[in-house]
Chains A and B, each alone.
Chain A
Amino acid sequence: MKTRARGHHTARTLDQLAAGERAVIASVDCPPAIARRLMELGLLPGTEVQVIRRAPLGDPLEIALRGVHLSLRTSEARHIDVTPA
């Protein structure tokens, strides 16, 4: 179970960002093996991430971080908490 509110900000998840919006990753709340792989791909807490666009059918998302562009499904992005950049 994940805590919704962290600190002073209302915590949002990556899938809730609008196209073009930037944020900083706060935590990755997935099963351990998935969390590890996402982190190895650079989605570490503290990393700045930008949502570039949504796919034409609304899913997945294109995100950019550390100079890399990734396609991430909404169902995966939902587990990544972000705070404003």
Chain B
Amino acid sequence: MSRPPEAAPRRIAILGNPNAGKSTLFNALTGLRQKVANYPGVTVEKKTGSCDLPDGRRAEIIDLPGSYSLQPASPDEMVVRDVLLGLQVDTPPPDLIVFVVDATNLERHLYLALQVIELGRPIILTLNMMDAADAQGLRIDAAVLERQLGVPVIGISAVRGTGLDRLRDLMARDVEPSTRHFREWPSHLQRVIDRLEQRVPRLPSVPDRARRDVAVAMLLDQGEDDALAKHVSAEALADAHLLARRLDEFSPGWRSGDVAGRYEAITALVAEAVNAPAGDHKDARRAAIDRVLTHRIFGPVIFVVLMGAVFQSVFAWAQPLMDLIDWGMRAVGNGIGHAMPEGPLRSLVVDGIIAGVGTTLTFVPQIAILFLFLSVLEDSGYMARAAFIMDRVMSRVGLSGRSFIPLLSSFACAIPGIMATRSIDSRRDRFTTIMIAPFMSCSARLPVYALLIGAFVPNRWVGFVTLPGITLFAMYFLGILAAVVVAWALKRTVLAGGLPLYVMELPPYRMPAWRSVFITVRERSLLFTRNAGTVILAITVVLWFLASYPKGGEAVRALEAERTQVAAAGDTTRLRALDNQIASAALAHSFAGRTGRLIEPAIEPLGFDWRIGIGLITSLAAREVMVSTMATVFNLGSGESDVQPLRKILREAVDTRTGKLAYTPLTGISLMVFYVLACQCMSTLAVVRRETNSWRWPIAMLVMMNAMAWLASFTVYQGGRLLGYGA
């Protein structure tokens, strides 16, 4: 099966500024033939896809993260630079670069283009959004750009799909690298760079012309450049740092010495190649929309209404789909249950595996719907305005406006919320947001709050509100408060530092490309199912095992003997009650039940007994499972849909050792506080692991949140008892 060497796929990278329409082009070229992974060791996503070229060859397309400069200011930009310079170990430099620029905004987008052209790699300059440029009356002379830049230039519209055939033709051809230079360093600096260039090791992946860029990177490095540390000798780097410090003394401002020169070249180039109509046509539409959307009063109002609508839709549209998946999985479970003989294997398949798959799938509607909205908001340009409006609020805890929507989404479910943090540019802000997202009270906590409030909080009016209402509000508020405290602490300790720069582009408003939106929604849903799904499935099976084994036990055997007699007598009411008792006794005898007793000493100071302990353990699958577990523990049978009897039972439950009431209202409050703060959802941890590309963060989250939950519940319960509320 050896293929001739010329049939090897061409490796083509798509590159450009954020908002250049890179991803839309990537989606248009590759369609559904995409793969998403991570670059090793970092949280930057590596998107690749394949595309057929007109000559019959296949091209492997890599969608590099949007960047502003080859002088990296974020992990994303670092990866781009490393790939282009040939320093990225797992990703060899591309055979060809398709550089995408926004044709309506050449001046800005050409900056990075010039830097990349100077590297001396084959490159096609792709003027995207030519339709918008035409509509604005911009006339761009591609021949002038080709001549001045020394690279092929082509106009396309990725959204409309125009010019893509010509682009594919070009992608199949061999493109000569440009020989142009646009940078001017002052002569003393040039000498320093020349000298450093000698110390850059000769690597086959680094072309001769790019060696100078490696030298510049060495000079500008502030000790955080991993790729340089790997490829360049420590002495050479130390010398470079020394030189940089000397330059800081003698010629301050040298670090941006090449920027102005490049912009001068761009200004001259644009003046020659672009013919713009007089007046500010371009900004008229944008200004009109912005006057409303970022208006002092209407802006926030529209934002709140829009977010409310998104939030409501995630809840309302996802629920029927989730019910349908739930119903479908139960039907599958029943079908398989009937087809298989009763026994441990059937139990494993039905209650372990199918239940686990079901748990994973029920998250998908929420993820899909949220990402549908998010990608429309992002692609239309509204997301940047939302961040603009909310920035002030979020800056109070050291974050930026970009963190707001992921956190808001986390009130529905932390999983899509954490996945939505991808739009936060700063790594430190993104990790902080991920770490505080699970404090937002998600929809799975609501059944637990409802059960406990119904059981322990009297339905009394206090002024304009009811006591249950106040309690529920307090729980949501407590979660937000914890998030603020943790964000504040993280940004001052482990996640401190980084470039404290919050400048953000406010792109023009655009119609989203629906195909691209659809591809994003599909990709996010699949990624979750594939990556987090396997972990969730494994956890469900483990929890199933803990709740089902070991079988038997004295109590169960005695009840089963009684059941045989009752069944013979045909007393169905008694039979139901016995079945529930058997389930309860079996659970108490299982590993989960034993663990409940085992952890009792640890949770007793919080006011919880071993029965609640079992609920805490089964909550690891999903928090709302606590409700059905408590129903089983108290002989109600888990099929009971009405929580009324369970509330009554919890209120009246007796501690068998003391003969007193087992749970007081204080227990209820303490337990709710625990549910607000504790990290119980293993699915969330699976997603944190995938999004941070390490086990360190999910483990830190687990330890931190549960320690906080324990301390807070301890304070509530013991403090309450001291104040005399324990009875």
CB of B501 within 8 A of CB of A40, answer no
Tell me which residues across on chain B come within 8 A of A69, comparing CB atoms. Answer: 286, 505-507
Tell me which residues across on chain A come within 8 A of B300, comparing CB atoms. Answer: 56-57
B499 at the interface (CB under 8 A from A): yes
Identify B259's interface contact among A40, A56, A58, A66, CB under 8 A: A40
CB of B504 within 8 A of CB of A67, answer no
CB of A36 within 8 A of CB of B259, answer yes
Tell me which residues across on chain B come within 8 A of A56, comparing CB atoms. Answer: 294-297, 299-300, 389
CB of A71 within 8 A of CB of B388, answer yes
| Residues in A31-85 with C-beta less than 8 Å from chain B | 32-42, 44-45, 52-53, 55-60, 62, 64, 66-73, 76
- State how many angstroms separate the Cβ of A18 from the closest Cβ of chain B: 14
CB of A37 within 8 A of CB of B384, answer no
- Measured CB to CB, the nearest residue on chain B to A42 is B108
* Most interface-central of B105, B108, B111, B297 (chain A CB within 10 A): B108
Identify A71's interface contact among B220, B283, B503, CB under 8 A: B503
Tell me which residues across on chain A come within 8 A of B69, comparing CB atoms. Answer: 37, 40
Contact residues of B: prevailing secondary structure: helix
* Most interface-central of A33, A36, A56 (chain B CB within 10 A): A56
What is the number of contacts between chain A and chain B, taking CB atoms within 8 Å?
Answer: 118
Q: How large is the interface on B (under 10, 10 to 19, 20 to 34, 35 or more residues)?
A: 35 or more
CB of B388 within 8 A of CB of A44, answer no
CB of B105 within 8 A of CB of A67, answer yes
- State how many angstroms separate the Cβ of B217 from the closest Cβ of chain A: 13
Contact residues of A: prevailing secondary structure: mixed
CB of B395 within 8 A of CB of A59, answer yes
Interface residue count on the A side (C-beta < 8 Å): 32
With A33-B255, A71-B506 as given contacts, are A55 and B260 in contact (CB-CB < 8 Å)?
no
CB of A67 within 8 A of CB of B108, answer yes
B222 at the interface (CB under 8 A from A): yes
CB of A60 within 8 A of CB of B107, answer no
B393 at the interface (CB under 8 A from A): yes
Q: Mark B94-108, 1 if CB is under 8 A from A, else 0.
A: 000000000011011
With A37-B501, A62-B294 as given contacts, are A44 and B260 in contact (CB-CB < 8 Å)?
yes
CB of B393 within 8 A of CB of A57, answer yes
B68 at the interface (CB under 8 A from A): yes
- State how many angstroms separate the Cβ of A7 from the closest Cβ of chain B: 18
Tell me which residues across on chain B come within 8 A of A42, comparing CB atoms. Answer: 107-108, 111, 263
| Residues in B237-253 with C-beta less than 8 Å from chain A | 248, 253
- State how many angstroms separate the Cβ of B400 from the closest Cβ of chain A: 9
- State how many angstroms separate the Cβ of A30 from the closest Cβ of chain B: 8
- State how many angstroms separate the Cβ of A3 from the closest Cβ of chain B: 14
- Measured CB to CB, the nearest residue on chain B to A73 is B502
Tell me which residues across on chain A come within 8 A of B222, comparing CB atoms. Answer: 33
- State how many angstroms separate the Cβ of B439 from the closest Cβ of chain A: 23
**In the bound complex, CA of A56 to CA of B253 (Å):** 35
Q: Mark B258-277, 1 if CB is under 8 A from A, else 0.
A: 01100100000000000000
With A39-B256, A42-B108, A56-B300 as given contacts, are A68 and B505 in contact (CB-CB < 8 Å)?
yes
CB of B388 within 8 A of CB of A55, answer yes
- State how many angstroms separate the Cβ of B377 from the closest Cβ of chain A: 16
**In the bound complex, CA of A73 to CA of B399 (Å):** 12
B712 at the interface (CB under 8 A from A): no
With A39-B260, A67-B107 as given contacts, are A59 and B391 in contact (CB-CB < 8 Å)?
yes
Tell me which residues across on chain A come within 8 A of B506, comparing CB atoms. Answer: 62, 69-71
**In the bound complex, CA of A68 to CA of B388 (Å):** 15
B500 at the interface (CB under 8 A from A): yes
CB of A34 within 8 A of CB of B384, answer no
**In the bound complex, CA of A66 to CA of B104 (Å):** 11
**In the bound complex, CA of A76 to CA of B296 (Å):** 22
CB of B395 within 8 A of CB of A35, answer no
Tell me which residues across on chain A come within 8 A of B505, comparing CB atoms. Answer: 68-71
Tell me which residues across on chain A come within 8 A of B392, comparing CB atoms. Answer: 55, 57-60
B689 at the interface (CB under 8 A from A): no
Tell me which residues across on chain B come within 8 A of A45, comparing CB atoms. Answer: 260
**In the bound complex, CA of A33 to CA of B363 (Å):** 42
CB of B502 within 8 A of CB of A35, answer no
Tell me which residues across on chain A come within 8 A of B294, comparing CB atoms. Answer: 53, 55-56, 62
Tell me which residues across on chain A come within 8 A of B104, comparing CB atoms. Answer: 67
Tell me which residues across on chain B come within 8 A of A66, comparing CB atoms. Answer: 107-108
Tell me which residues across on chain B come within 8 A of A67, comparing CB atoms. Answer: 104-105, 107-108, 282
CB of B68 within 8 A of CB of A73, answer no
**In the bound complex, CA of A37 to CA of B300 (Å):** 30
CB of A70 within 8 A of CB of B503, answer yes
- Measured CB to CB, the nearest residue on chain B to A38 is B503
**In the bound complex, CA of A42 to CA of B384 (Å):** 19
Identify A72's interface contact among B105, B256, B503, CB under 8 A: B503
Tell me which residues across on chain B come within 8 A of A72, comparing CB atoms. Answer: 502-503
Can you list 7 contacts pairing A with B, beta carbon distance less than 8 Å? Answer: A32-B256, A33-B499, A37-B73, A59-B395, A68-B505, A69-B286, A73-B395
Interface, chain A (partner B; CB < 8 A): 32-42, 44-45, 52-53, 55-60, 62, 64, 66-73, 76
Q: Pick the 10 closest A-B CB pairs, nearest first.
A: A57-B392, A69-B506, A36-B256, A32-B255, A39-B259, A71-B504, A40-B69, A39-B256, A59-B392, A68-B108
